[in-house]
């Protein structure tokens, strides 16, 4: 079979590994492709008409020579990062809902991140093998609103243990203000079901400031509705606060995607994914937009007086 | 005008939001930050990190040169500068409020990391030298080359003065935009909007200041925000540069109509319309009334403002040539004062109205060194009849509107005696913002002598 991988045998009687199924060019079909052999169409933010990347972006760029900073250097997809032997900000204390901690709490120098498992994002960190880590996830068919993710891999948003969220059926292949993932957020309190809490499992020192929120510089899991009445961030999305797929914000309620966000509370929450693509992007630091090469493009969506 | 400002503000906000929604297509749009000095793609902020050969992929003007979203620039992740979070995600603390007095260090104020000369973190620091007002707009040579130096000149001089940054920070807490973690500089400057005025000294569209009460807007870039708003009452001082002409920067006399100068009066009075405390002077600085007319009445404002002179005034060029129009003048605060620091007391400029002061203004009440400033525009005995420099006998005793009759020297002068060389009375006993003299004020001199009421009973003396 042409779909068979070359490195078998594979666990669970699979014919290939993660990349075997998830490598390709997206065209709106049923399989999300996260890495492409040829450069995907991203345009400026990956949200424009004609783009063919998904919500997580694409690993194509980080897999290219000299582009370490443009995505997660996932084992099997890319070479190890040339300058980062471990996840920057890793502190080994952030557990998933099932109690598992990435790398068991101690990241070996030079060990690459994986798709899933002990060193990965998807599934439980208590399983070394990626396939075992996401066991059941592909078959239980959960989708749409994941409001009670539990602690099983299959129960979590995108098989991320304990993470809540609304899953866009096309992984944002085509995205607009009314059709998109809805990320789970919190407001200054610890909530291990938010999308940012997933990132913090490996990058805790970026944002861990003790018990009061998890940020040390740019805030995440912070609700812009907390800002002063005349704050510039209340201009997110214009006068009607339209949801901006290029710079998404999270919400308490993830039962449905929001086409507008309220500045009354719980719907305008800054997340890691407001700025970053989880898999990769054409830009430095896997930014959603060309931050380093611009004068604040992207930033001005929230920081509206800084245009 | 206030209504206009609100409308303009609203429109700018709508424009900003629209821009945010369409930021992909914004490359050709120059928003306030892109038009600002910091956001200039060629000469804007560009921090060089010590020990790091490359500042990374961040283009000139990029946010990262001041703000660090996670960790330190240059790969020193994940420990941020100073080991902890800095407000506004700045790479260093905005202000050390424990620093109450000059001399200031680079670490005291975030802005000084770049606005500090040779130790600046800014790439090509020479491109961003910031001279004082006397040089940049007044045409004098020398003086400080950067903002930190301007605040610290001269370090130990009794006469040097500076805008106390702690006082500014403390006073500014009353403004809505200002936070306890704000830099004192942001009271007057919006770092995301301030433009490169020094490169365009005759064009207030490039103003670098924002009213503390209207932080999100530049001040001076609208017609109603310039000295032209005084309806011809502003007379541009002479320019000291080789080209001659008038301030700012040698504009031709025929063109000097106030529109080249931001209305610094309205700007400064955003704070100084009320009494403010000076830690440096350990006293209150009087409130300044630059608008009320009324001649020599008690309720009138300063004559250097909109209030008018008393019948006769003996002034130097270019003010003398305008006297035929029978009008008073409204001076700009920066005609006499530096905004950051000066080698004289009271932030007095080192050069005024076309030339350098001939002596240092010490700020001591007992001497008449303030006269070195006055004589730049008013006629001392030297200018009047070739008498002594910074001697003021003629205007006080011999002129048509002289306040005191001559030959009664000992009434006021402690060692008076008719020789013509009576020890002067310190200018500050009678002259200063808001001052009036009559039979009860200014009261008693240190010599024990009481200054009598002037001819006419009372005079507003500034």
- pLDDT for B10 beyond 60: no
Chain A residues within an 8 Å CB radius of B80: 216-217
| Inter-chain CB proximity B24 and A298 less than 8 Å | no
Q: Which helix (H) or strand (E) holds A115?
A: strand A114-116
- The pLDDT-based confidence of B159 (bands split at 50, 70, 90) is confident
Q: What is the pTM of this model?
A: 0.90
Share of chain B above pLDDT 70, in %: 85
Q: Under 8 Å CB-to-CB from A139, ≥6 apart: which residues? A: A154
Structure tokens at B382: 């030297």
- The pLDDT-based confidence of A161 (bands split at 50, 70, 90) is very high
Chain A residues within an 8 Å CB radius of B68: 217
The tokens 């993830």 sit on which residue?
A254
**Lowest-confidence region among A138-147, A189-198, B121-130, B288-297:** B121-130
Torsion over CA of A171, A176, A181 and A186, rounded to 10 degrees? 150
* B19 vs A43, A215, A300: nearest CB: A300
Residue A113 three-state SS: strand
Integer angstrom CA distances of residue A34 from A31, A207, B15, B328: 9, 27, 37, 75
pLDDT at B22: 54
pLDDT digits (tens, 9 = 90+) for A50-101: 999 999 999 999 999 999 999 999 999 999 999 889 998 888 999 999 999 9
Q: Under 8 Å CB-to-CB from B207, ≥6 apart: which residues? A: B194, B195, B197, B218, B219, B220, B221, B262
Of the two residues B262 and B12, the one the predictor is more confident about is B262
- pLDDT for B18 beyond 90: no
| Inter-chain CB proximity B20 and A205 less than 8 Å | no
- pLDDT for A294 beyond 60: yes
Share of chain A above pLDDT 70, in %: 95
Q: In whole angstroms, give the CA distance from residue B431 to residue B453.
A: 14
CA nearest neighbour of B141 among B23, B241, B31, B257: B241
| Inter-chain CB proximity B23 and A298 less than 8 Å | yes
Report the DSSP beta bridge partners of residue A54: A57
ipTM: 0.90
Residue A260 three-state SS: strand
- The pLDDT-based confidence of B137 (bands split at 50, 70, 90) is very high
Q: What's the whole-number mean pLDDT along residues A141-170?
A: 95
- Asked whether the beta carbons of B399 and B313 are under 8 A apart, the reply is no
Chain centroid to CA B280: how far? 17
| Inter-chain CB proximity B20 and A301 less than 8 Å | yes
Chain centroid to CA A174: how far? 17
- The pLDDT-based confidence of B366 (bands split at 50, 70, 90) is confident
pLDDT at A211: 38
CA nearest neighbour of A223 among A259, A263, A268, A182: A268
pLDDT digits (tens, 9 = 90+) for B188-245: 999 999 999 999 999 999 999 999 999 999 999 998 999 999 988 999 999 999 999 9
pLDDT at B423: 80
- What does the H/E/C string look like for chain B? CHHHHHHHHHHHHHHHHHHHHCHHHHHHCCCHHHHCCCCCCCCCCCECCCCCCCCCCCCCCCHHHCECCCCCCCCCCCCCHHHCCCHHHECCCCECCCCCCCCCCHHHEHHHHCCCHHHCCECCHHHHCCCCHHHHCCCCCCCCCCHHHHHCCCCCCCCCEECCHHHHHHHHHHCCCCCCCCCHHHHCCCCCCCCCHHHCCCCHHHCCCCCHHHCCCCCCCCHHHEHHHHCCCCCCCECCCCCCCECCCCECCCCCCCCCCECHHHHHHHHHCCCEEECCCCEEECCCCCCCCCCCCCCCCCCCCCCCCCCCCCECCCCHHHHHHCCCCCCCHHHHECCCEECCHHHECCEECCEECCCCCCCCCCCCCCHHHHCCCECCHHHHHCCCCCCCHHHHHHCCCCCCCCCCHHHCCCCCCCCCCCCCCCHHHCCCCCCEECCCCCCECCCCCECCCCCCCCEECC
Chain B residues within an 8 Å CB radius of A206: 70-71, 78
State the DSSP code for A122.
E
Chain centroid to CA B377: how far? 18
pLDDT at A269: 97
- pLDDT for B428 beyond 60: yes
- pLDDT for B335 beyond 60: yes
Q: Closest chain B residue to A218 measured between Cα atoms?
A: B69
Q: How far separated are the first and last CA of chain B, in Å rounded?
A: 28
Question: Burial level of B455, CB count in 10 A (0-12/13-18/19+)?
Answer: exposed
Q: How far is B153 from chain A (nearest CA, A)?
A: 34
Chain B residues within an 8 Å CB radius of A237: 17, 20-21
């Amino acid at each position: 079979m042409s779909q068979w991988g070359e490195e078998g045998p594979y666990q669970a009687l699979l014919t290939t590994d993660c990349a075997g199924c998830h490598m390709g060019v997206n065209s709106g079909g049923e399989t999300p492709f996260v890495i492409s052999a040829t450069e995907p169409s991203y345009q400026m933010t990956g949200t424009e008409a004609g783009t063919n990347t998904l919500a997580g972006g694409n690993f194509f760029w980080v897999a290219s020579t000299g582009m370490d900073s443009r995505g997660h250097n996932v084992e099997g997809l890319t070479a190890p990062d040339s300058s980062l032997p471990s996840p920057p900000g890793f502190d080994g204390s952030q557990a998933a809902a099932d109690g598992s901690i990435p790398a068991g709490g101690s990241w070996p120098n030079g060990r690459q991140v994986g798709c899933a498992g002990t060193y990965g994002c998807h599934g439980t960190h208590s399983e070394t093998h990626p396939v075992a880590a996401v066991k059941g996830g592909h078959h239980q068919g959960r989708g749409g609103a994941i409001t009670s993710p539990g602690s099983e891999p299959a129960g979590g948003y995108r098989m991320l243990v304990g993470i809540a969220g609304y899953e866009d059926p096309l992984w944002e292949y085509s995205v607009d203000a009314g059709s998109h993932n809805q990320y789970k957020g919190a407001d200054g309190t610890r909530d291990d079901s938010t999308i940012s809490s997933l990132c913090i499992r490996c990058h805790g020192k970026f944002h861990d400031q003790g018990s009061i929120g998890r940020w040390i510089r740019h805030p995440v899991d912070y609700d812009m509705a907390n800002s002063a009445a005349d704050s510039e961030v209340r201009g997110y999305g214009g006068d009607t606060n339209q949801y901006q797929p290029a710079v998404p914000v999270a919400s308490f309620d993830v039962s449905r995607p929001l086409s507008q966000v309220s500045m009354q509370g719980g719907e305008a929450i800054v997340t890691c994914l407001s700025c970053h693509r989880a898999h990769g992007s054409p830009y430095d630091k896997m930014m959603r937009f060309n931050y380093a090469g611009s004068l604040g493009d992207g930033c001005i969506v929230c920081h509206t007086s800084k245009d | 005008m206030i209504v206009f400002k609100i409308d303009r503000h609203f429109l700018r906000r709508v424009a900003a939001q629209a821009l945010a929604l369409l930021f992909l297509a914004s490359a050709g749009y120059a928003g306030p930050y892109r038009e600002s000095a910091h956001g200039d793609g060629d000469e804007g902020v560009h921090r060089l990190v010590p020990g790091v050969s490359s500042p990374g992929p961040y283009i000139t003007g990029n946010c990262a040169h001041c703000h660090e979203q996670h960790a330190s620039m240059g790969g020193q992740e994940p420990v941020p500068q100073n080991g902890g979070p800095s407000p506004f995600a700045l790479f260093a603390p905005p202000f050390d409020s424990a620093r109450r007095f000059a001399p200031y260090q680079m670490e005291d104020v975030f802005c000084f990391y770049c606005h500090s000369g040779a130790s600046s973190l800014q790439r090509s620091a020479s491109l961003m030298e910031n001279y004082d007002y006397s040089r940049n707009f007044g045409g004098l040579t020398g003086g400080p080359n950067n903002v930190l130096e301007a605040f610290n000149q001269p370090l130990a001089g009794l006469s040097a003065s500076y805008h106390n940054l702690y006082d500014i920070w403390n006073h500014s807490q009353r403004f809505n935009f200002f936070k306890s973690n704000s830099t004192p500089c942001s009271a007057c400057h919006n770092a995301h909007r301030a433009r490169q005025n020094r490169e365009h000294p005759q064009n207030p569209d490039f103003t670098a200041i924002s009213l503390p009460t209207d932080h999100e807007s530049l001040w001076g870039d609208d017609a109603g925000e310039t000295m032209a708003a005084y309806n011809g009452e502003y007379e541009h001082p002479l320019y000291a540069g080789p080209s001659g002409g008038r301030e700012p920067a040698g504009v031709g006399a025929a063109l000097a109509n106030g529109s080249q100068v931001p209305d610094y009066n309205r700007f400064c009075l955003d704070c100084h319309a009320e009494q403010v405390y000076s830690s440096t002077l350990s006293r209150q600085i009087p409130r300044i009334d630059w608008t009320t007319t009324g001649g020599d009445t008690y309720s009138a404002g300063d004559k250097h403002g909109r209030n008018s002179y008393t019948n006769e005034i003996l002034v130097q060029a270019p003010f003398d040539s305008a006297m035929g129009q029978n009008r008073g003048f409204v001076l700009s605060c920066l005609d006499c004062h530096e905004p950051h620091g000066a080698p004289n007391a009271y932030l007095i400029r080192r050069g005024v109205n076309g030339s350098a002061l001939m002596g240092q203004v010490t700020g001591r009440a007992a001497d008449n060194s303030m006269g070195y400033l006055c004589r730049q525009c008013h006629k001392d005995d030297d200018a009047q009849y070739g008498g002594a420099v910074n001697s003021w006998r003629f205007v006080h005793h011999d002129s048509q509107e002289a306040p005191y009759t001559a030959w009664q020297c000992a009434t006021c002068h402690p060692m008076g005696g008719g020789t013509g060389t009576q020890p002067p009375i310190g200018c500050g006993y009678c002259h200063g913002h808001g001052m009036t003299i009559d039979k009860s004020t200014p009261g008693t001199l240190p010599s024990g002598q009481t200054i009598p009421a002037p001819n006419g009973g009372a005079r507003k003396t500034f």
